[in-house]
Amino acid sequence: MCKVYHVYFSTPPNVKPGKDYLVDHSILFYLMAPNGNFVDAFEKIFSKDEVYTKVHSYMTEWAWGKS
């Protein structure tokens, strides 16, 4: 699944079983269409207003049956 969505993660090399550790990973989220298809991805560089505008636009299209 990580390869399909180009998600990165890395576990530290010397982690002992049962011990806590930090995971280095991608910081983004995906918008999926009502039919389950990928629509867009948003990285941390996008402001909340940019995300809102794009998501609202997609939702309006879906409400009007354009995609």
Known binding positions: 25
Angstrom distance (rounded) from CA 11 to CA 18: 14
- Annotation: binding site for Cu cation: 25
Q: Is residue 63 classed exposed, middle or buried when 0-12, 13-18 and 19+ CB atoms within 10 A define those classes?
A: exposed
